[in-house]
Amino acid sequence: MKKLVSLIKACMTSDMNLFKVSSKKRGKGNIVLPIILAIYLMGYIGGISFILFKELDVDGNAYVLLSVFAFIITLLTFIEGIYKTSSLIFNAKDDDLLLSLPIKRSTVIFIRLFKFYVFELLYNSVFLLPVIIAYIPFNNGSLILYIVISLLMLLLLPIIPIALSSIIGVITTAISSRFKYKNLVEIVFTFILLICIFMASMSSSKVMEYLLNNASRFNDLILKYYYPAGVFGKLVNNFNIIDLFIFIGINLVIYLLTVLLISKVYFKINTRAKSVSKKSSSKNTVIKVRSPRSSLIRKELNTFFNTPVFIINSGFGLILFILLVVVMIFKPDLFLLVLTKNNPNTGLTSDEMMKHISLIILLIMSFTSFMTSITNSVISLEGRNINILKSLPIKTKTILMSKIYACMIITTPVFILGLLALLIKFKLNIIEFILLLIIAIVMPLISHLIGILVNLRYPKLDAENSAEVVKQSTSSMVAVFTGMGIMFFAVFLIIVFMILGTNTKIVLLGFTLVFILVDLVLYLILNKWGTKKFNSLEA
Amino acid sequence: MIEIKNVTKKYGKKIAVDNVSFTVEDGDIFAFIGHNGAGKTTLIKSIVGIHDFDEGDILIDGMSIKENPVECKKLMAYVPDNPETYEHMKAIDYINFICDMYETPLDVREKNIKKYSKIFEMEDKLNDTIDSYSHGMKQKAVLISALAHDPKILIMDEPFVGLDPKAVFDIKEILNEMVKDGKIVFYSTHILDVAEKLCSRVAIIKSGKLVKSGSMKEIKGDKSLEKVFMELEEK
């Protein structure tokens, strides 16, 4: 036990310090922005959930929402897990060290999953704590009991989704390790899973409708299909010690079984996954001359396409855009129906929505573009290799801009091709189309510039693996929250303009000009502050 | 020529390099020695422009690394203590990448890549990705990339670590060949007998301060470099 505690302590301090910015430079200022963002998000979630609790409390069904939130949190943890577990379990830098120590393999797996669990616990707290607090005025039973149940739920909820996603991660790695192009197989497999989850969530409007009409039965439904989430509402509404023990038991058994199962197959899969079969058959050594800029861009693209977790994380916004474009082209009625149902306050019918088709396209682009933050880990992913870049006779501005150009090469064609498809389908007005084309370039650029600036502010050059940088760093968290904030604001404005019936061309022109202005400001900041910050980075 | 002028580098309150000054002339093989944590890597990283420093200046052929970093870096090649590379790249792509950064003409890089990959027995391995390499092979790939653009100044941090005896011998030959052309080789090392035989000049650093600097003959006199170093360490 002492050994396990020592190991956990060593591993946690080395790579799970969420607010650790650099091993050499740390300041109190670094944690201010993440805390402000977390408080903002918690306040927002707390406010929304309070309104929903109040609505459901009329029929005495407020407790049902606790189960709903527990289910949503479980689903989010599961999705996060699918992104990460393969990298966290199999690609850690401390593999050689841990495997050489006189400890059981199951202990190594336990530590890997425990680190992920702690991170998810922190993340989930941002979402679930405000919900728990917002429910207090509606709690009819003992407050102490409610707090105990809630804290237990908070602590135990991540366990099952982490266990399940870990098993999926192991299966993904086991399958992909048999192929020559392991990364490609892993990426395709993960995208298929995520698309399936996305398609399933398309029916969420029906679920919400059912919830509002059949709240009490809804809890039974969750209880039936996913007991660990449904039991939250049940315990709060009608406490039963047996349910509590069952809940704790299920979590512990699943966690321990998962650890044992993975540790049984871990060594075999890990050895196969690490065997490098990328040896080229070609013996012709190709020596080519490129300009420093194009060579840097090529290097960035190489990093992107060789880091599965990077592609999966940042590529999902693009995949979502493609999916939404496909749905709009082949099932426009369904799309507009979902849009109007999800926004009942707009009061717009499907026909009225069609008049604003360019704004709807803008809405989709805003949503997916600000969800696509590729650059928030491009500095951290350099790791110690940042010394290579810093020793080269290249201007810092060129290095930073090459990272932006590489991201533009990835995102721009997707947006432009999507727009062209929509132009053909909906016969868009040519001026609106041209404005949308400009927006397709300048809007993702904002996301890329924000991402790189945030990463320069919160670099993590000593990460254990790429998943830690891409998914678990302060930089990725701040960039995602910032992107979400801008996205909410942009979407809100677009809907307001739709309701007001403002001329579409004027709205698009306004957005284009604002986006260009923001790009310019961010570019100037990158040029001045960003280059200085890059030069001061030490690995 | 490299001129280190009163360079001080601090990490917070800790002084890593304390008012160090010395000069490395053209045609020198210069050994930079000191115990672990003495400040060798910090000073090397300051010379090649990876680290900023708090006081003093470093001139490369008369140009300040602070004021003209790009021009200074064009003259240098850096080989780090750990072979840091982009592991997912093929070695040839990595070497080409470094050459692109130095804008090395095709004929020069072709000639040098061929020459050094042959010396290090890497000709048929350049098309493999670096993550399939052993530590020593990675070090060789980094050395080829550093030599391929024909630098005037070669700066290396512990270059012999992890290399096989033949590769160590080959590097010594390459370094001797370089200085014959008036180039500079500056490297840190713990292998004192190699430094003693190979280097024309030496600097010894202790706890961030320069304790001795000069020609190898002046520094060691009749003693061995190891003996001199141990005596300085015990003081």
In the structure encoding, which two tokens stand for residue A229, read together? 């989430």
Q: What is the DSSP letter of A527?
A: I
Token pair recorded at residue A462: 């000593």
For residue B30, the model assigns a pLDDT of 96
Residues linked to residue B156 through DSSP beta bridges, in sequence order = B79, B187
CB atoms within 10 A of CB A284: 7
Q: What is the pLDDT of residue B16?
A: 93
**% of chain A at pLDDT higher than 70:** 82
DSSP H or E segment with residue B188: strand B184-188
Nearest to residue A419, comparing CAs of A358, A351, A332? A358
Hunting for tokens 């739920």 — which residue is that? A153
Task: Check residue A23 and give its pLDDT.
Answer: 45
CB contact under 8 A, B88 and A288: no
Torsion of CA A407, A410, A414, A415, to 10 degrees: 10
Alpha-carbon distance B234 to nearest alpha carbon in chain A (angstroms): 30
Mean pLDDT, residues A346-360: 70
Note whether B85 contacts A388, CB cutoff 8 Å: yes
Contacts of A99 (CB under 8 A, 6+ apart): A105, A108
Tell me the C-alpha distance between B44 and B4, whole Å.
11
Residue type, B183: K
Question: Degrees (nearest 5) of the Cα angle A188, A193, A194?
Answer: 95
Full-model pTM: 0.77
Strand pairing category for B63-64 and B14-24: unpaired
Determine the Cα–Cα distance for residues A93 and B143; give it in Å rounded to an integer.
24
Yes or no: say if A357 and A426 are a contact pair by the CB < 8 Å rule.
yes
* Closest CA in chain B for residue A399: B101
pLDDT score for B23: 95
Q: Considering CB atoms only, which of A278, A282, A292 is closest to B101?
A: A292
* pLDDT for A415: 92
Q: What is the reported pLDDT for A213? A: 65
Amino acid A22: pLDDT = 46
Q: C-alpha angle B176/B181/B186, rounded to 5°?
A: 55
Other Cβ atoms closer than 10 A to A241: 8
Query: Do A428 and A498 contact (CB within 8 A), yes or no?
Result: no
> Which 3 state secondary structure label does DSSP give A11?
helix
* Candidates A392, A399, A534, partner chain B, best to mutate (most B CBs within 10 A): A392
What are the tens digits of pLDDT across the range A449-480? 999 999 999 998 887 777 777 767 788 878 88
Nearest to B52 among A292, A298, A536 (CB): A536
H or E stretch covering A123: helix A105-135
The span from the CA of A132 to the CA of A116, in Å, is 23
Instruction: Count the neighbouring beta carbons within 10 Å of the beta carbon of residue A26.
Output: 13
Cα separation values, B112 from A103, B108, B118, B138, B166, Å? 48, 6, 10, 18, 19
Residues of B in contact with A280 (CB under 8 A): 90, 127-129
The DSSP call for residue B54 is S
Q: Mutate which of A184, A386, A388, A534 to test chain B, going by most B C-beta atoms within 10 A?
A: A388
* Token pair in block for residue A414: 């997707």
Residue A21 pLDDT > 60, yes or no? no
